[in-house]
Homo-oligomer: A and B are copies of this chain.
Amino acid sequence: MVDGAAKVTGKGIYTDDIRLPNMLFCKILRSTYPHAKILRLDTSRAETIPGVIAAITGKEVSEKYGILPLGHDETALAVDKVRYVGEGVVAVAGTSEEILDEALNVIEVVYEPLPSYLEARVSMDNPAVLIHEDKANNIERDYHHHFGNVEEGFAHADYVRSDSFYCPRVTHAAMEPHSTVAHFDETGKLTIWSSTQTPYYLHRTLARVLGMPMARIRVVKPLVGGGFGGKDEPLCHEICAAALARKAGRPVRLTVNREEVFYIHRGRPDQYVDIKTGVTKDGKITAVECKTIQDGGAFCSYGIVTILYSGALLGAIYDIRNMKYDGYRVLTNKPVCGAMRGHGTVNVRFAFESQLDIIAHELGIDPADIRLRNLLQPNTRTVNDLRVTSYGYPECIQKVMEHSGWREKKGKLPYGKGIGIAGSHYVSGAANSIIRSKMPHSNVMLKIDMDAGATIFTGTAEIGQGSDTIQVQIVAEELGLTVDRVRIVSADSDLTPMDLGSYSSRVTFMAGNACLQAAREMKTKVNKAAAELLQIPQEQLLNRENFIYDRNNVDHHLSFEEAIVHAIGTQGGTLITKGAYTPPREAQGGKFHGAGVGPGVAYSYSAQTAEVTIDTETGVVTVDRIVAAHDCGRALNPLTVEGQIEGSVSMGLGQALSEQVIFDQGLVMNPGLLEYKTPGILDSPKIESIIVESADSEGPYGAKEAGEGSLAAVIPAVGNAIFDAIGVRITELPFSPEKILKALKEKQAKKK
Q: Which residues of chain A have a CB within 8 Å of any CB of chain B? A: 2, 5-6, 9, 11, 21, 185-187, 189, 200, 203-204, 207, 213-218, 436, 438-440, 443, 445, 447, 449-453, 455, 457, 484-485, 487, 489, 493-498, 514, 546, 561, 565-566, 568-570, 572-574, 576, 578-580
Contacts and interface: CB of A to CB of B under 8 A. Distances in A.
Contacts of A439: 450, 565, 568-569, 573
Nearest to A217: B451
A189 B453 CA distance: 12
B578 A497 contact: no
Contact of A574 (B485, B494, B497, B566): B497
Given A5-B187, A438-B570, A453-B214, A495 B489 contact: yes
B578 A203 contact: no
Given A5-B186, A573-B497, A574-B443, A214 B568 contact: no
Given A9-B186, A186-B5, A573 B450 contact: no
A451 B187 contact: no
A485 B573 contact: no
B485 A213 contact: yes
A215 B452 contact: yes
B569 A436 contact: yes
A101 to B, nearest CB: 29
A439 B489 CA distance: 25
A185 B497 contact: no
Q: Which of A6, A484, A573, A576 has the most CB of B within 10 A?
A: A573
25 contacts: A5-B185, A11-B21, A207-B451, A213-B452, A213-B546, A214-B450, A215-B484, A216-B453, A436-B569, A438-B569, A438-B570, A443-B449, A447-B457, A447-B495, A449-B496, A449-B498, A451-B493, A455-B494, A457-B495, A489-B495, A497-B573, A497-B574, A498-B574, A574-B578, A576-B576
Contacts of A189: 484
A189 B5 CA distance: 12
Contacts of A457: 447, 495
A510 to B, nearest CB: 11
Identical copies of this chain, number: 2
B572 A186 contact: no
A11 B250 CA distance: 12
Given A436-B565, A447-B497, A572 B576 contact: no
Contacts of A449: 443, 493, 496-498
Given A439-B573, A449-B498, 19 more contacts: A5-B185, A200-B450, A204-B450, A213-B453, A215-B451, A215-B452, A436-B569, A440-B568, A440-B569, A443-B449, A443-B573, A443-B574, A447-B457, A449-B493, A449-B496, A457-B495, A498-B574, A514-B573, A574-B578
B451 A214 contact: yes
A493 B449 CA distance: 8
Contact of A440 (B203, B451, B573): B573
Contact of A485 (B185, B215, B497, B566): B215
A572 B580 contact: yes
Contacts of A484: 187, 189, 215-216
Q: Which of A9, A217, A451 has the most CB of B within 10 A?
A: A451
A389 to B, nearest CB: 23
A211 to B, nearest CB: 14
B569 A578 contact: no
Contacts of A213: 451-453, 485, 546, 561
B11 A185 contact: yes
A5 B189 CA distance: 12
Nearest to A5: B186
Contact of A573 (B5, B453, B565, B580): B580
A438 B566 CA distance: 8
Nearest to A582: B573
Contacts of A9: 186
A447 B492 CA distance: 13
A489 B568 CA distance: 21
Given A436-B569, A439-B569, A445 B215 contact: no
Contacts of A186: 5-6, 9, 11
A487 B484 CA distance: 29
Contacts of A495: 447, 455, 457, 489, 495
Nearest to A573: B580
